[in-house]
Amino acid sequence: MVEIRRPEAMERISSREMAEKFIEEQMTLIKEQVGDKKVLLALSGGVDSSVVAALLIKAIGKQLICVHVNHGLLRKGEPEQVIEVFKNQMDANLIYRDCTDRFLDKLAGITDPEEKRMIIGNEFIEVFAEEARKLDGVDFLAQGTIWPDILESEDGIKAHHNAGGLPEDLDFELVEPVRILFKDEVRMVGEALGLPSGMVYRQPFPGPGLGVRCLGAITRDRLEAVRESDAILREEFAKHGLAEKVWQYFTIVPDFKSTGIKDGKRTYDWPVIVRAVNTKDAMSATVENIPFELMQHLVDRITHEVPGVSRVLYDFTPKPTGTIEWE
Ligand code: XMP
């Protein structure tokens, strides 16, 4: 492990030129560290792992093996975007595993949010470990650790131990090329590497994904209602210039129904809850003031386009007292 620390006096990367210089330096360091060996990376499609992937592809090409695990709880279009950007455009060595059924079967009937998180996390590691064991001659594991992660767990992070909680037989040396960067710097580097801005400026998305937004026991039909309503919200926020302005915005589908009326007939369907918040550090948050007309338009689209949904609610609760997610 090459121990890299952010020098006290390191200037913040704030221009394309600085980002390009950083990329050149890191390419040299990566090549020095890994030589002709193979490197494995769990590529979620989030900002950090995507930037690490793009950097490593530029430095060592096919020596990098990316594994994209689709746990079935990703947003609409996400797995397709990962395949399009990394496999089709960057010609990466990408292993794609669609494990939707496996995850949803494990989660069937589980209502406790923490238990849901644990199942998703453990299963994820299990799938990744299976892929790692199939490969020969992989000595390195790349991770999208960034500087705030290190500051937050200063005494916890000791090179070998944060290998994503992998089983002990998988003993990799870590490659962490963005570990000295803050998030805004990672984004600059991502742009300089040619990643699409939708990927680089993506809002935060929790590891358990839509699983904690499909409240209670996850069912496929309600999960689809979360995914479809989320896609509509994202589309409308982008159209109205809110996508870059609002820190995090998403939809939630609870596990209860209400009476409604559609095409003159009585319905008994789910509501969709809209959440849109702003924060600096996610410790506290305020609610975005979505214009009433936009809210009406969202109600119209969601209730007409998403099967099984008859109402839209808007969560006005700041954090505290509510958390940002509902579970
Ligand atoms: P809460 O709901 O605690 O969320 O106010 C604060 C931020 O953390 C995200 N979050 C998670 N991220 N795994 C993650 O990677 C999780 O289990 C998880 N739970 C919440 C949430 O989306 C928000 O940005």
Give me the pLDDT at residue 157, please.
Answer: 40
Q: Is 323 in the pocket of ligand 1 (CB under 6 A)?
A: yes
Give me the pLDDT at residue 160, please.
Answer: 40
**Quick count: other Cβ atoms within 10 Å of Cβ 173?**
16
The number of helix segments (H) and strand segments (E) in the chain equals 10, 10
Instruction: Assign 3-class secondary structure to 108-150.
Output: CCCCCHHHHHHHHHHHHHHHHHHHHHHCCCEEEEECCCCHHHH
Q: Kindly report the backbone phi and psi dihedral angles of residue 267, in degrees, each rounded to the nearest multiple of 5, phi listed first.
A: -120, 160
Q: Which domains does the chain have, with CATH numbers?
A: 16-201 (3.40.50.620), 213-314 (3.30.300.10)
Residues 83, 94 contacting (CB under 8 angstroms): yes
Give the ligand 1 atom nearest the CA of 250: 22
- Digits of tens for pLDDT over the chain (327 positions)? 556 678 888 899 999 999 999 999 999 999 999 999 999 999 999 999 999 999 999 999 999 999 999 999 999 999 999 999 999 999 999 999 999 999 999 999 999 999 999 999 999 999 999 999 999 999 999 999 999 988 887 755 444 444 558 998 899 999 999 999 999 999 999 999 999 999 999 999 999 999 999 999 999 999 999 999 999 999 999 999 999 999 999 999 999 999 999 999 999 999 999 999 999 999 999 999 999 999 999 999 999 999 999 999 999 999 999 999 999
Give me the pLDDT at residue 273, please.
Answer: 99
Give the ligand 1 atom nearest the CA of 322: 5
Write out the binding residues for ATP: 44-50
Residue with the smallest CA separation from ligand 1 atom 11 is 206
Q: Is 118 in the pocket of ligand 1 (CB under 6 A)?
A: no
Q: What is the DSSP string of 199-263?
A: HHTPPP--TTGGGGTB-SS--HHHHHHHHHHHHHHHHHHHHTT-TTTSSEEEEEB-S--EEEEET
Residue with the smallest CA separation from ligand 1 atom 6 is 282
- In angstroms, the CA 64 to CA 135 distance is 12
- In angstroms, the CA 129 to CA 133 distance is 6
Give me the pLDDT at residue 164, please.
Answer: 59
Give the ligand 1 atom nearest the CA of 325: 2
Helix (H, G, I), strand (E, B) or coil at 54: helix
Residue 47: name the closest of 147, 171, 146, 173 by CA: 146
- Please state the pTM of the whole predicted model: 0.94
Give me the pLDDT at residue 155, please.
Answer: 56
Work out the angle between the directed axes of helices 292-305 and 220-239 (0-180°, nearest 10): 140
Q: Is 248 in the pocket of ligand 1 (CB under 6 A)?
A: yes
Tell me which of 123, 210, 324 to substitute to probe ligand 1's pocket, judged by most ligand atoms within 8 Å of the beta carbon.
Answer: 324
Give me the pLDDT at residue 162, please.
Answer: 42
Residue with the smallest CA separation from ligand 1 atom 18 is 206
Q: Is 204 in the pocket of ligand 1 (CB under 6 A)?
A: yes
